[in-house]
């Protein structure tokens, strides 16, 4: 698995390549504890459109980047999974 910074750069490149607009980049995002994802601090990209966020998450997975999707309010974060 890539380092978090390298994975974040690659994730951003995938978003640009596929025309997925990024609202902002977040660092040290506190991920909520769920069954699938333990409590972690990580980085990710905020995507306003849920369908585009889902697509970016799928594209990242196909590229070998460990990501997860967290939706809140009117935006989603595609975050880098950390071990």
Output the pLDDT for position 1. Answer: 45
List C-alpha distances in Å: 73 to 26, 49, 67, 77. Answer: 16, 11, 20, 11
Output the pLDDT for position 39. Answer: 54
Mean pLDDT of 48-58: 96
Mean pLDDT of 59-79: 90
**pTM check: above 0.75:** yes
């Amino acid at each position: 698995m890539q380092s978090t910074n390298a994975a974040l750069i690659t994730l951003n490149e995938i978003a640009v390549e596929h025309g997925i607009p990024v609202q902002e980049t977040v660092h040290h995002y506190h991920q909520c504890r769920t069954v699938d994802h333990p409590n972690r601090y990580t980085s990710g990209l905020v995507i306003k459109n849920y369908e585009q966020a889902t697509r970016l998450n799928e594209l990242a997975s196909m590229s070998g980047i460990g990501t997860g999707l967290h939706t809140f309010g009117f935006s989603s974060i595609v975050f880098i999974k950390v071990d």
